[in-house]
């Protein structure tokens, strides 16, 4: 299966690297639960779509994001998953699937528009796990939603993702690299907030 490396497609650095303090709440005191619905459209092979419900009850703080980034750089994605496995910042539920707890939720701005990035442990089938297929090396799913001025959202969904920190030889800075198992990420369309 063809793979592509997505470097900073989801503005990957904002996934775990701190955003401006004004955009990220340090604590979730007074945070109102947000509920969104939308559609995931798979562009690999035959076009398939499925509805989803995204409920956010808390966000990852800047300090936690920095800690997760350090774990990923020094110990790898398996140890990162162990560190965040019990986080419960809300959940995502797709049609026909059990819901998954959100493990990392970051919010920021891109070109003046609000952006939410959420990470969760992906859905895996029994035969996939039992067979020890290569796809089991991609334990994360990542959804990015960008909202326009009217509050409608579109974005990207990476269903099978590997994450790693790589040293950029030119800048000598660590950067987050996301590798997608499929040819293309899925599209996120028609996202609207259900509670106000």
Q: What is the pLDDT along the chain (196 residues), one digit of tens a residue?
A: 334 444 333 444 444 444 433 334 444 556 789 999 999 998 777 788 999 999 999 999 999 999 999 999 999 999 999 999 999 999 999 988 889 999 999 999 999 999 999 999 987 766 665 666 667 788 899 999 999 999 999 999 998 898 988 888 888 888 888 888 876 788 999 999 998 7
Domain annotation covers residue 25? no
Residue 94's nearest CA partner among 54, 45, 153 is 54
Give this prediction's pTM: 0.79
Domain annotation covers residue 27? no
Structure token pair of residue 3: 């793979």
Domain that holds residue 70: 4-20+32-193
Domain annotation covers residue 141? yes
Query: Would you call 179 helix, strand, or coil by DSSP?
Result: strand
Query: Would you call 135 helix, strand, or coil by DSSP?
Result: helix
Which residues on adjacent β-strands are paired with residue 158?
A: 142
Structure token pair of residue 101: 């707890």
User: In terms of residues, how long is the chain?
Assistant: 196
Count how many domains the chain has.
Answer: 1
DSSP 8-state code for residue 134: G
**Helices (H), ranges, the chain:** 13-16, 62-75, 77-84, 126-131
Dihedrals φ, ψ of 70, to 5°?
-65, -40
Domain annotation covers residue 64? yes
DSSP 8-state code for residue 191: E
| Number of other CB atoms surrounding residue 40 within 10 Å | 21
Domain annotation covers residue 56? yes
What is residue 177's predicted lDDT score, i.e. its pLDDT?
A: 86
Domain annotation covers residue 26? no
Query: Would you call 102 helix, strand, or coil by DSSP?
Result: strand
Contact 157, 41 (CB under 8 A): no
Domain annotation covers residue 184? yes
Angle at 153 between CA 158 and CA 67, to 5 degrees: 50
Domain annotation covers residue 188? yes
């Amino acid at each position: 299966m063809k793979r592509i490396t997505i470097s900073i497609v989801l503005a990957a650095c904002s996934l775990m690297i701190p955003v401006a303090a004004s955009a990220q709440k340090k604590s979730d005191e007074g945070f109102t639960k947000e509920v969104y619905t939308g559609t995931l459209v798979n562009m690999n092979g035959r076009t398939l779509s499925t509805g989803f419900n995204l409920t956010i009850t808390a966000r990852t703080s800047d300090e936690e994001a920095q800690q997760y980034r350090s774990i990923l750089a020094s110990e790898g994605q398996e140890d990162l998953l162990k560190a965040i496995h019990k986080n419960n910042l809300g959940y995502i539920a797709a049609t026909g699937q059990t819901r998954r707890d959100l493990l990392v939720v970051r919010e920021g701005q891109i070109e003046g528009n609000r952006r939410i990035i959420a990470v969760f442990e992906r859905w895996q089938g029994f035969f996939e796990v039992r067979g020890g297929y290569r796809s089991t090396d991609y334990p994360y799913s990542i959804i990015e939603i960008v909202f326009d001025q009217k509050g409608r959202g579109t974005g990207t969904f990476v269903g099978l993702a590997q994450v790693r920190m790589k040293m950029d030889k030119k800048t000598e800075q660590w950067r987050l690299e996301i590798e997608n198992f499929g040819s293309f990420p899925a599209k996120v369309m028609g996202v609207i907030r259900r509670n106000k």
